A and B are shown apart, each in its own frame.
Chain A
Amino acid sequence: MAALFKARRVIGLCLSGQRRMSQLAELPETHQLLRQTCRDYADRELLPIAARLDKEHSYPVKQIQELGAMGVMAMEVPEELGGAGMDYLAYSLAMEEISRGCANTGVIVSVNNSLYIGPILKFGSEEQKRQWITPFTTGEKVGCFALSEPGNGSDAGAASTMAHQEGDEWVLNGTKAWITNSWEASATVVFATTDKKLKHKGISAFLVPMPHPGLTLGKKEDKLGIRASSTANIILEDCRIPKGNLLGPRGAGFKIAMQTLDSGRIGIAAQALGIAQASLDCAADYAQKRTAFGTPIGKLQAIQFKLADMAVAVESARLLTWKAALLKDSNKSYTKEAAMAKLAASEAATFCSHQAIQVLGGMGYVTDMPAERHYRDARITEIYEGTSEIQRLVVGSHVLKEYQL
């Protein structure tokens, strides 16, 4: 009997999201217009330079400024603070279209929106928002998010970076690893342990401007993919910041990090969707043009089955992403759906880019075609902002909770 009631609650949870699912069949007009605008921008301004950005490892300064002018660098931020004042569904659509043009530009946009501005918007004071968000809405400045360390990634609770108070200042010591945007950033959200005895409840979040005395950057990592965005260590040695740079309450750092990553996951899912869609576009286009056995290979079943599998993977991940976004916009719990979206989308990205190279054959292996770049760019989506294994842990524990086991 009890199980029936629990099951009904589960169905209730699903239906409340489904009431808005009809929106997914046909997006609202503004969202369609937004999607089209971002797609036009990506096609005209990002697609032509994506290969060069990857080859030269160069940061797209002009494009980030243009995206800032369009409002894309601060989509959730209210207009009074300089943002676009849009919802998360709009953000997911924009992220997908931009990443479809250039996955690099996508990750730069995502880190600024979800990981840097996100926690300040949610946990910052009005003064902090004005100081740390408004200058970062125009594309002139970008921010970054420093949680991972050389000693812990998935194990975020074991933060060994320390922060202690000295008079009116906080003093930070430690090293952060794998920080995207680090070399271009003008500020970062840093997580450090303020009370070691409280374990993960003793971590706090801080706002640190960059450059700053006591903060140095490690060398830029030479990565497999998303090479135009900088990834480096941030080293803090007696880095002193004013007392007012504490973000949120003392000890709330872990909670802030987890909630930030929850919404960041939707953005990364959208980025992975963009890469997956770009791979599908590349493969489908090639299948129509390349002939073998006397026919365009798109007419051969082996290729058609591949394209079908790719299309199903992308579309299902897309619907999961939109659902997570809609739940967040309705202020409903969305942690499980965000994890599912990120898991599905990143695995769709690696699957589609793998199959795209297969469809292109030898051409897929050379840099003349974008398939190899999509393959390299897709791989990281299964790792950052929560590995696929962590996503599975999140989903699994939610499923168990729903059945009260």
Chain B
Amino acid sequence: MSGRVLVGVKRVIDYAVKIRVKPDNSGVVTDGVKHSMNPFCEIAVEEAVKLKEKKLIKEVVAVSCGPQQAQETIRTALAMGADRGIHVEVSGKDYETLGPLHVSKILAALAKKEEAQLVILGKQAIDDDCNQTGQMTAALLDWPQGTFASEVSLEGDKIKVVREIDGGLETIKINTPAVLTADLRLNTPRYATLPNIMKAKKKKIANVKPADLGVELTSRLEVLRVDEPPQRLAGIKVETVGDLVSKLKETGKI
């Protein structure tokens, strides 16, 4: 058991920013817009650092795929307590079409290379809401997966995961090595302490290219158009149930 945990962190548009669609409807405006670490990735980093503090694992490695600015996201992870970072450089057109399948291939390759015991990711990113990377990574590695985790406990060489599912909570026990994805209630991420922010400066971030990991970035998807959600229309009040039924029939709803 290497005791090494790989944590994926994604740089996304900050959750508080008002999103604007580009005038040519090809995507959303990202230039000059505030970016930060995906909130679910923050929860993933916090869980990994907690495991290290409990001495259940030895090393936390933060990974991010993206352009130069992705290093800021890795530094935030380092300031929260990760030991070192890996920046997989993807920029320009490749970055625009980068999707869960590419990222999972990259993470799978890195997990094998780093001999990771655990891969912890956020359950989804708040920009594309794909909710696929964790599941795909597990499949590519042929490892068990504990997704939508709201509670994680290591028991010897197995992991007990409590998952949030539609019906309630499901508890499973999986072997290691495994992939986990963090859900909202797994923990409350810490604010980086100032001494840790200073220490983060000295921690190493390695640079890697997707080609070095044998991953090809051609996309099988093409984004045709991006539009704003339709404006919410005003509702109408009706007097009786009979009126309601006839109105619903009128507008073709039933």
Contact = CB atoms under 8 A, between A and B. Distances in A.
- A and B: bona fide binding partners: yes
Nearest to B76: A33
Interface string A157-181: 0000000000000000000000000
B193 interface: yes
B198 interface: yes
A29 B78 CA distance: 13
Given A29-B201, A33-B75, A33-B200, A41 B191 contact: yes
Interface string B188-207: 00011111011011000000
Contacts of B193: 69-71, 84
A341 B200 CA distance: 31
Interface string B12-51: 0000000000000000000000001000000000000000
Name, among A66, A70, A79, the residue most crowded by chain B CB atoms within 10 Å (CB to CB).
A70
Interface size on B, as a range, is 10 to 19
Interface in B166-202: 191-195, 197-198, 200-201
B79 interface: yes
A312 to B, nearest CB: 21
A75 B194 CA distance: 8
Interface size on A, as a range, is 20 to 34
A37 interface: yes
B75 A29 contact: yes
Contacts, number: 46
A37 B42 CA distance: 13
A242 B249 CA distance: 89
Given A29-B75, A33-B79, A84 B201 contact: no
B192 A37 contact: yes
Interface string B66-92: 000000100110010000000000000
B200 A30 contact: yes
Name, among B75, B76, B198, the residue most crowded by chain A CB atoms within 10 Å (CB to CB).
B198
B198 A85 contact: yes
A21 to B, nearest CB: 22
Nearest to A82: B195
Contacts of B76: 33
Contact of B197 (A33, A41, A66, A79): A33
B195 A84 contact: yes
B209 to A, nearest CB: 23
B159 to A, nearest CB: 29
B52 to A, nearest CB: 18
Contacts of B79: 33, 37
A71 B195 contact: yes
A30 B191 contact: no
A84 B194 contact: yes
Contacts of B197: 30, 33-34, 37
17 contacts: A30-B197, A30-B201, A33-B72, A33-B75, A33-B79, A34-B197, A37-B192, A37-B197, A66-B191, A70-B192, A72-B194, A75-B194, A79-B195, A84-B194, A85-B198, A86-B198, A90-B194
Q: 4 nearest interchain CB pairs?
A: A71-B194, A84-B194, A70-B193, A71-B193
